[in-house]
Structure 1
Amino acid sequence: MRTAAALLTCLLVACASGGGTMQSVDERVDSMMSAYAGDAPGAALLVVRDGEPLLRRGYGLADVGGRVPVTPGTNFRLASVSKQFTAAAIVLLAQDGALSLDDPVRKWLPSLPAAADGITLHHLLSHTSGLVDYEDVMPDHVDGQLHDADVLRLLEAQDRLYFAPGSDYRYSNSGYALLALVVGKASGRDFATFLRERIFGPLGMDGTVAFEDGVSTVAQRAYGHSDVDGAWVRTDQSSTSAVLGDGGIYSSIDDLAKWDAALHDDRLLSDASRRLAFTAHTPTGEADVDGYGYGWRIHDSGHGRLLWHSGETIGFRNVILRWPERRLTVVLLSNRNDPEPYALARRIAALYLEAP
């Protein structure tokens, strides 16, 4: 009898208040996402399994001042989630034979100082270059915004490294800004154009753009916000927001579903190229990261191999999680400074990974 009573209690606790039925997974997810709902900066959430969206919805506002709601087509600044596109551009050019991943970076950017002699494109991709962080050597006051070319100019004056190339790991926005410039040199097109013509256009990612103020626009744009003394204030751009290679791409969950699908086959990258990108080339010492690939963190999650990356910048917090062997992907994009969404995305993913 005690066992039956305990089972009845569990069933009553697990039931939704209306109709006495168990909460659906969608309802549980909506409850988990409730902090993003309402009249506040919001989020877009995508769950894809076997190429089919199990859940795609927006919460809250893309623009608080204009009271514009988030939809699955809202484009968020991806921040460092952009790095997987920068890496893919370099790997595509290697497939084309336009460059080699073993090329010295000074082959393409000869104005770098002698200290960079031992750095290859592979080192830049895997954060093992030892390059100085450009954020640490920026002027205290910047008129306008820095661009990738400005990062190069800053590094030209730094004839030193943190460590010998290939000997250690240190996450480097500098390296990915330089990779964007290499894409331009090797392809004969600027970085944004190359991405549009070789990745976004062929995949039908029509709303995705490496945003250049005065050159391109962002359709259905989410604006970044921060909580300042209990009020949401627009904090959409900083002095480094125009650097494209390390974090300047805008995209939506609908477009990222197309990107995810392309990473399961060879429509864009060959099997060999995807293996390179998804290989843990170096340990990082970071939590939930066994190693860094090319634009991806890699981790044995207990549910198989997890490929993931976060992106944090002023007013935006994002994450993409992919379990390729399970054919499950979760993307959570938000236009607010807090909270970081990784832990929440993992909890949402668990609902689907643990389902029978």
Structure 2
Amino acid sequence: MHDEPRTDAERRALAAFTAAEPPADFADRVLAADLAERRGTESRAPFGRLLGLGAPRLAGLAVAAVAVAVATAAAAGWMPEWTGLSRHAPKIIPAEPPRDAAPVAAALPEGPPVPELALPADLEARVDAYIGAFGRNYGDAFKFHGVVGVVKDGELVLTRGYGRADLRRDGPNTATTRFKIGSLTQTFTAAAILQLRDRGLVDLDAPVRKYIPDYPATGNRITLRHLLTHTSGIPSYTDAAVFLVGHTRPVTTADVRAIFQDLPLEFAPGTDFDLSNSGYFLLGQVVENVARQPFADYLTHNVLAPAGMKDSGIGLTPGALGHEFDEDEVLVPAAQRHFSAYGSAAGMVSTAADLARWDRALRTPGLVLSQKSLDEMTTVARGEYGIGWFVRKDGGDTIAWHPGGVEGYNATIARFLGDGVTVFVLANTEAVDTRAVAYDLAQIAHGAEVQPPQEHTEVRLSVAELARYSGNYVLTETTQQAMKGLIEADELGALQQVRVLRIDDRLFMRVPEHGDKWMHYMGDDRFFFKDPSATLAEFGPPGAPVAHLTLQQGELRFILKRERDG
């Protein structure tokens, strides 16, 4: 846990210990002192709520609540201010030409001036070196399988495929391999609604029931704009327990609506922000009712076709098979849910080449959307969200970005609206988080030096030494209070009590309803997990019987007290 020096609060608390049994409230006092010190010396970094379907599922993580929450937090501070931009002329790497007859010039939205950007001449080598570092210590399951791409001024200048589309076969991932893209679908759904608005067929400030007459009475208080900006207050149906089971066969719109439409709103429409896949699922029904055709058909003919995206859509078969890693840290095919369960919220497949075309279309007023609608998509409505895109201001530029993930897949796209650079990452495993890859890829494209992903070295322990850590651990009251408002109650509840157990010569952490997660020893009572959460676990106090377990990820710290045996 202590890659950085311990805080004064930690040192003072630890200094109070002897080898005797520690006081029962030790963990609470450590966290309380640390929180008090932090609040007195620094402002706390903002943490967004969980992305739900908008984040990669990262299935099988025992500390899923920690993993997704911190990934969300990291994403909220998306891009650093760029320094040391390369002065080299860009090396244009041949790529598949656009499917339309001639390239379309990028029409960039107006914004603050940004410096002329030249991509690094060795961009391909830098990207290869970075991607090739995945799995060097953690093994084959943690190598990158997918495609990355860099777009400059609407043209694809680099696309690289890595790993295999199906680990059971030898087919490679390429620029035309189809991947499921999860809630990246919402950028397209938002475009379909804005296109209907451009054509005078919908009013964004009209209530939902104007376009879906059979929606419950709450639809009179919720507008299309609320749905588009995730300010409706409708609970996200993909978080519901009933959604977590089944759906391998086609489901109807009524089936999905039944999960959420009669639930109480989380807040009054327009007063708060919370990502809701329910809202974007409803937007697909709005399109169907207004255009009088299936959403998939409208999307294909009115959004994807003008953009030249012939390998994308809802209901298409992906070419890459989604994989997750099991409790033995081996990649296995992920169980797949039928696309109809996701629809306009997360049901699309796409390719690297097509996402480059999508970026170009969004830089070309009149091709799919008017300039007014293009600007509105990337204008913050609440928090750091516009319409269909997260929006971040950085160093005089505006970054529009979005993650997505469903079973066995995750994807991220980040568009720099000022300097014309776009990066995207598609993966057919859950072992590598594409948000982190896109973040680093963007830095590489802007000439910055990027360190390879950190992969700790494991140290072997004897069975007797592992047994020292076994036991039941409960979340401290101080931790629970500190995390209120940062972590959803049900997700925090998953960590209320965990069990650390030895199975043969391995140590596992078991979280109720999340399975067992292999803990790898790294020395000094510290363990690491190999999943994208980058969570570290530390037992303490040093030199005394184990009394507590600390789970640390980024700025989030969860302290659990060990229950007395018997």
Per the shorter chain, which TM-score range?
A: 0.7 to 0.9
TM-score by length of 2: 0.54
Q: Please report how far the alpha carbon of residue 223 of structure 1 lies from its aligned counterpart in structure 2 after TM superposition.
A: 1.1
Q: Does 1:67 align with 2:170?
A: yes
Larger-gyration structure (1/2): 2
1:282 equivalent among 382, 385, 391: 382
Q: Please report how far the alpha carbon of residue 137 of structure 1 lies from its aligned counterpart in structure 2 after TM superposition.
A: 4.1
Q: Secondary structure at the match of 1:85?
A: helix
Is the alpha carbon distance of 1:147 and 1:295 closer, same or farther for their aligned partners in structure 2, counting shifts above 3 Å? farther
Provide the rounded CA distance (Å) in 2 between the counterparts of 1:123 and 1:312: 23
Q: Does 1:152 align with 2:252?
A: no
The answer to whether the 8 A contact 2:131-2:144 is kept is no
Letter in 1 for 2:126: R
Query: Pairwise CA RMSD of aligned residues?
Result: 2.3
The answer to whether the 8 A contact 1:80-1:246 is kept is yes
Within a 5 Å distance, the mapping from 1:79-118 to structure 2 comes to 79-118=182-221
Is the alpha carbon distance of 1:349 and 1:74 closer, same or farther for their aligned partners in structure 2, counting shifts above 3 Å? same
Q: Please report how far the alpha carbon of residue 131 of structure 1 lies from its aligned counterpart in structure 2 after TM superposition.
A: 0.5
The answer to whether the 8 A contact 1:128-1:169 is kept is yes
Q: Please report how far the alpha carbon of residue 151 of structure 1 lies from its aligned counterpart in structure 2 after TM superposition.
A: 2.1
Provide the rounded CA distance (Å) in 1 between the counterparts of 2:272 and 2:447: 36
TM-score by length of 1: 0.84
The answer to whether the 8 A contact 2:304-2:312 is kept is yes
Uncovered stretches (5+) of structure 1, i.e. residues with no partner: 1-21, 212-216, 284-290
Residue 206 of structure 1 corresponds to which residue in structure 2?
A: 310
The answer to whether the 8 A contact 2:248-2:337 is kept is no
Question: What do residues 2-22 of structure 1 show as CA deviations (whole Å, max 9, x unaligned)?
Answer: xxxxxxxxxxxxxxxxxxxx9
Is the alpha carbon distance of 1:61 and 1:300 closer, same or farther for their aligned partners in structure 2, counting shifts above 3 Å? same
Is the alpha carbon distance of 1:28 and 1:167 closer, same or farther for their aligned partners in structure 2, counting shifts above 3 Å? same
Q: Secondary structure at the match of 2:346?
A: coil
Q: Does 1:346 align with 2:439?
A: yes
Q: Secondary structure at the match of 2:307?
A: coil
Q: Does 1:27 align with 2:125?
A: yes
Letter in 2 for 1:54: V
Residue 429 of structure 2 corresponds to which residue in structure 1?
A: 336
Provide the rounded CA distance (Å) in 2 between the counterparts of 1:274 and 1:46: 22
Question: What do residues 76-134 of structure 1 show as CA deviations (whole Å, max 9, x unaligned)?
Answer: 10101110000000001111111111121111222222233210000000000000221
1:192 equivalent among 290, 296, 314: 296
1:269 equivalent among 358, 365, 369: 369
Provide the rounded CA distance (Å) in 2 between the counterparts of 1:193 and 1:133: 25
Question: What do residues 19-48 of structure 1 show as CA deviations (whole Å, max 9, x unaligned)?
Answer: xxx992211110111128989661111101
Provide the rounded CA distance (Å) in 2 between the counterparts of 1:196 and 1:142: 28
Q: Secondary structure at the match of 2:209?
A: helix
Residue 233 of structure 1 corresponds to which residue in structure 2?
A: 332
Is the alpha carbon distance of 1:301 and 1:179 closer, same or farther for their aligned partners in structure 2, counting shifts above 3 Å? same
Provide the rounded CA distance (Å) in 1 between the counterparts of 2:262 and 2:332: 36
Residue 295 of structure 1 corresponds to which residue in structure 2?
A: 388
Question: What do residues 241-287 of structure 1 show as CA deviations (whole Å, max 9, x unaligned)?
Answer: 7311111100001011111101112111111011111111001xxxx
Deviates more, 1:136-145 or 1:96-105: 136-145
Residue 253 of structure 1 corresponds to which residue in structure 2?
A: 352
Provide the rounded CA distance (Å) in 1 between the counterparts of 2:178 and 2:245: 29
Letter in 1 for 2:371: D
Provide the rounded CA distance (Å) in 2 between the counterparts of 1:164 and 1:345: 34
The answer to whether the 8 A contact 2:178-2:350 is kept is yes
The answer to whether the 8 A contact 1:86-1:176 is kept is yes
How many residue pairs are counted as aligned between the two chains?
320
Uncovered stretches (5+) of structure 2, i.e. residues with no partner: 1-119, 449-566
Letter in 1 for 2:192: A
Provide the rounded CA distance (Å) in 1 between the counterparts of 2:405 and 2:135: 17
Letter in 1 for 2:226: H
Deviates more, 1:320-329 or 1:96-105: 96-105
Letter in 2 for 1:50: D
Q: Secondary structure at the match of 2:296?
A: helix
Letter in 1 for 2:307: L
Provide the rounded CA distance (Å) in 1 between the counterparts of 2:270 and 2:128: 44
Residue 19 of structure 1 corresponds to which residue in structure 2?
A: none
Question: What do residues 139-166 of structure 1 show as CA deviations (whole Å, max 9, x unaligned)?
Answer: 37446444544222333432x2111000
Residue 177 of structure 1 corresponds to which residue in structure 2?
A: 281
Provide the rounded CA distance (Å) in 1 between the counterparts of 2:168 and 2:387: 38
Residue 11 of structure 1 corresponds to which residue in structure 2?
A: none
Provide the rounded CA distance (Å) in 1 between the counterparts of 2:373 and 2:335: 35
Residue 214 of structure 1 corresponds to which residue in structure 2?
A: none
The answer to whether the 8 A contact 1:147-1:244 is kept is no
Residue 234 of structure 2 corresponds to which residue in structure 1?
A: 131
Deviates more, 1:80-89 or 1:66-75: 66-75
Q: Please report how far the alpha carbon of residue 136 of structure 1 lies from its aligned counterpart in structure 2 after TM superposition.
A: 4.1
Q: Secondary structure at the match of 1:74?
A: coil
Provide the rounded CA distance (Å) in 1 between the counterparts of 2:158 and 2:282: 37
